[in-house]
Amino acid sequence: DSGVTQTPKHLITATGQRVTLRCSPRSGDLSVYWYQQSLDQGLQFLIQYYNGEERAKGNILERFSAQQFPDLHSELNLSSLELGDSALYFCASSTGLAVQETQYFGPGTRLLVL
Amino acid sequence: DAKTTQPPSMDCAEGRAANLPCNHSTISGNEYVYWYRQIHSQGPQYIIHGLKNNETNEMASLIITEDRKSSTLILPHATLRDTAVYYCIVRALYSSASKIIFGSGTRLSIRP
């Protein structure tokens, strides 16, 4: 158990809909990262937040957005969903910003768009 | 961040040492070598990391060559639960972004 929790575990929805994925980092961790894993793209970095502020962006679509709240939990919002958004979405956390800090991953949310 | 090259798949007998190679010939002096693994759609799990010295923890050992152009992850006594995809990742110490760039990894199968 990494100490990172994600809800829900599974999500099934239809095209065009909007969903919110939630992540609670390990106690004391200020950085939260979101990654997407699809069959054809592998594990890809989406976005990072540190202490409530956006720090880095990867290949995140404009239909996707995220935020980190004062209690440090984070939410990833996916809107106007398409079939291709079906994937595993992982959240990871680390203590701060240093690159050499270990990122601990949550169990993921499996999203299926029908 | 430097690119890494790993064999797509390997297998190992249960109880034997599993040695997973990684080539990172373009690594620079401020880049760490990290290893993560992913067991069947679970979240990636941190294993070990190192800069230039060999490292050992309760999970594995990391052997980095003197020129740092390659490394080997060693699972000393592989069990069936070690079946997973293993990712070798190189990360710059002073990068402006601390994201992890995952490659394709090595799919390790442990046979009984």
Mean residue pLDDT of chain B comes to: 91
How far is the C-alpha of A58 from the C-alpha of B27, rounded, in Å?
22
In this prediction, residues A70-87 reach a mean pLDDT of 97
How far is the C-alpha of A10 from the C-alpha of B95, rounded, in Å?
34
What phi and psi values does residue B80 have, to the nearest 5 degrees?
-60, -30
Note whether A2 contacts B100, CB cutoff 8 Å.
no
Note whether A42 contacts B93, CB cutoff 8 Å.
no
pLDDT number for residue A67? 97
Any residues with CB less than 8 A from the CB of A87 and at least 6 apart, and which? A36, A37, A38, A111
Tokens of B14: 């249960």
B37-49 pLDDT, tens digit per residue, is 999 889 999 999 9
Which residue in the set A55, A99, A106 is minimally distant from B93, CB to CB? A99
Q: For residue A39, name the pLDDT band (cuts at 50, 70, 90).
A: confident
Kindly state whether A109 is in contact with chain B, defined as any CB-CB distance less than 8 angstroms.
no
Q: What share of chain A is helix, strand, coil (3-state, %, to 5)?
A: 5, 55, 45
Q: For residue B94, name the pLDDT band (cuts at 50, 70, 90).
A: low
